[in-house]
Structure 1
Amino acid sequence: MLVDFTSTILSVLSDGALVAVAVTLVWPIFKPASKDQ
């Protein structure tokens, strides 16, 4: 049970890291566009 819990947290953290990297890469592209509108 503890191992499953730890693996679940690790998977969630890795997914969160991927999302954070994706947002960091994409944010500068969308920021100027949203400012112009």
Structure 2
Amino acid sequence: MRSVEQSKLEIAFKDISSTITSSKDGAKNFREYLEKLSL
């Protein structure tokens, strides 16, 4: 059985990958996003 958290993460990663266009900005945004998650 899959947890709700896993589903939320998958959705978040799909959103991230669909919004990232340039890899440089993408990497930066992704790091900032992960930092927010870990706060």
User: Normalising by the residue count of structure 2, what TM-score does the alignment of the two structures yield?
Assistant: 0.46
Structure possessing the higher relative contact order (Cα contacts under 8 Å, 6 or more residues apart) = 2
